Structure 1
């Protein structure tokens, strides 16, 4: 699950052709390599998968949290075909990456660059600048756009940034981050074909230090935390599933456990504006604040009491904008959130 193609100027997502049934690969027919199953034993599951879904469903039913499509009051009510899409199903991505892997093996093509190469370059260089600002102690709510001149001060600090790219797809974003100076890089995707393609491209291009794992962010088996988590289109695709509202809650529950305290989450989206993403984070924080407190822990065993939360940190301001309905917007939003230290 790497992302969603930005539609042309005169089209929207609902006008794109849905894949025919013959184009899709059934989940039941998908062959799973032995090493993909090793994730379960190597990393361990921290929460039963059925319980994750049940908890998210209950939170949605009692919490009165709005779906992402409802965050802007001036939006028209979307129809079912716009809200849900084949892009929200794993079978779509399995088929897409099976084609791209075959194309790579035959022609050496890297496949789609989701959101375009320009956006990927901006995300990588902007993220580097953000991490350097944080490493240098310049933690502010509004950080300037990507600097035009290379930043040398603080480059040595990038080695301490552990990075997880969820829904990595062909892994090209991690390659760009490696070029920026990051070294502790891991990519996960629930499509085995995507991981096979990402590994093949990384090996071909000389980025053998990047780790790739088959893992579903909604049912993650990872038990380590990362200082930086990247999401380029994954939350978009999750929201296009028929159960998107429930799955987005599951997404935030999983991500909040994977981002280390004081770490950051960088989301790039073409389906949500910066304000909508901030509103979704606020909803998550409100939901977590309303959860029952854990039983009191003896002081000598105390680690943290408060539930995880995020706050807006910064966003890319250099994307081209357009005017629509009297409002100025951009086709892509990249927003960084800081995870609380006290949880």
Structure 2
């Protein structure tokens, strides 16, 4: 639950640590994972107990996370004040098993599976992101062509939007890409390290008429993509990475890898339920400091190739708890330059 950190209640640290791979795909473990981190979607679920998902954001609030800048990997001396909360959702085995079930359920019943954060958040992210891209395109056009009238600018922006290269990392069932397609984007790619997720996303795209979406099996932490994109989307992937036993180190790998996917002047839009806007901005500042340090060590000139905060969604519902105001979701955009 982004925005508020509550003290842990009745948390067994030994249970919070990652289980072995063999344990990850049992029915009991899926239940534990769903209790640990999940938000019920409006699209239906393949899991048996819907209430687990309704309560999932509360489970997040009950966990105390290590600060984004604390990259200690000493698991043996963790205590109730410093341990990093882990979950089955940080492991590929969980997602492979989940998407195998969801693909079977799609074939038998036509269900699209889980939409993490809910359909309303997904639609808001797509619409808000479109607005950011339009603003950027309009400024660029007006700077290049001062003599264009409003109608010409609008037509050119629409054409430009369709040409934006977009990748959604950890795309899952690919429904965010479909929402972006509805907003006018057409150069769309989705990646996921689970082959089952890609098979489900491809099946849904074909069924819903979005056959132009490209879908690839790829791990963002070890990406094989050699292309840079003008718009990089992440809805929940950083969250899942952070729930791995080695989450703090994997988060460093995440920023290094995902920054290489963003084209100069491009955007990175992250939607998270585990991090506030301020925490995401702090992680980006940490990334920038590491990159600047690398440049200085190599005695190179300039400090390009950094991520900078651009904007965030301000219209998510908020709630009050213990005198603090927070929201369950944060969506933050960064510009790469």
Paired residue for 1:137, among 129, 139, 159? 139
Query: For 1:296-327, what per-residue CA distance to the aligned partner results, in whole angstroms no more than 9, with x for missing partners?
Result: 89xxxxxx953521111000011000112322
C-alpha separation between the residues in 2 aligned to 1:280 and 1:296?
24
C-alpha separation between the residues in 2 aligned to 1:152 and 1:262?
21
TM normalised by structure 2 equals 0.72
| 1:112 shift after superposition | 0.8
| 1:209 shift after superposition | 0.3
The residue number in structure 2 matching 1:203 is 206
The residue number in structure 2 matching 1:331 is 328
The residue number in structure 1 matching 2:124 is 122
The residue number in structure 1 matching 2:272 is 269
The residue number in structure 2 matching 1:94 is 96
1:238 aligns with 2:241: yes
Secondary structure in 1 matching 2:139: coil
C-alpha separation between the residues in 2 aligned to 1:121 and 1:99?
25
The residue number in structure 1 matching 2:173 is 170
Paired residue for 2:313, among 293, 301, 316? 316
Paired residue for 2:261, among 237, 258, 262? 258
Query: For 1:272-291, what per-residue CA distance to the aligned partner results, in whole angstroms no more than 9, with x for missing partners?
Result: 00000000000000111111
The residue number in structure 2 matching 1:33 is none
Q: List runs of 5+ in structure 2 lacking aligned partners.
A: 2-7, 31-67, 73-79, 142-152
Q: Is the 8 A contact 2:319 2:325 kept in 1?
A: yes
| 1:233 shift after superposition | 0.2
Secondary structure in 1 matching 2:26: helix
| 1:117 shift after superposition | 0.5
The residue number in structure 1 matching 2:87 is 85
Query: For 1:178-221, what per-residue CA distance to the aligned partner results, in whole angstroms no more than 9, with x for missing partners?
Result: 00000000000000000000000000100000000000000000
C-alpha separation between the residues in 2 aligned to 1:290 and 1:128?
34
Query: For 1:81-120, what per-residue CA distance to the aligned partner results, in whole angstroms no more than 9, with x for missing partners?
Result: xx11111000000011000000001111111111000000
The residue number in structure 1 matching 2:231 is 228
1:65 aligns with 2:62: no
Paired residue for 1:179, among 178, 182, 186? 182
User: What's the RMSD between the two structures over aligned residues?
Assistant: 3.0
| 1:129 shift after superposition | 0.5
| 1:256 shift after superposition | 1.0
Secondary structure in 2 matching 1:285: helix
TM normalised by structure 1 equals 0.71
Query: For 1:231-250, what per-residue CA distance to the aligned partner results, in whole angstroms no more than 9, with x for missing partners?
Result: 00000000000000110011
- Residue range with higher mean Cα deviation, 224-233 or 156-165: 156-165
The residue number in structure 2 matching 1:214 is 217
Secondary structure in 2 matching 1:291: helix
Change (3 A) 1:20 1:286: closer
The residue number in structure 2 matching 1:113 is 115
Between the two structures, name the one with larger relative contact order (CA 8 Å, sep ≥ 6): 1
Secondary structure in 2 matching 1:181: coil
Query: For 1:4-48, what per-residue CA distance to the aligned partner results, in whole angstroms no more than 9, with x for missing partners?
Result: 9xxxxxx99x799998653479xxxxxxxxxxxxxxxxxxxxxxx
Q: Is the 8 A contact 1:88 1:242 kept in 2?
A: yes
C-alpha separation between the residues in 2 aligned to 1:105 and 1:125?
30
Q: Is the 8 A contact 1:288 1:307 kept in 2?
A: no
Change (3 A) 1:160 1:241: same
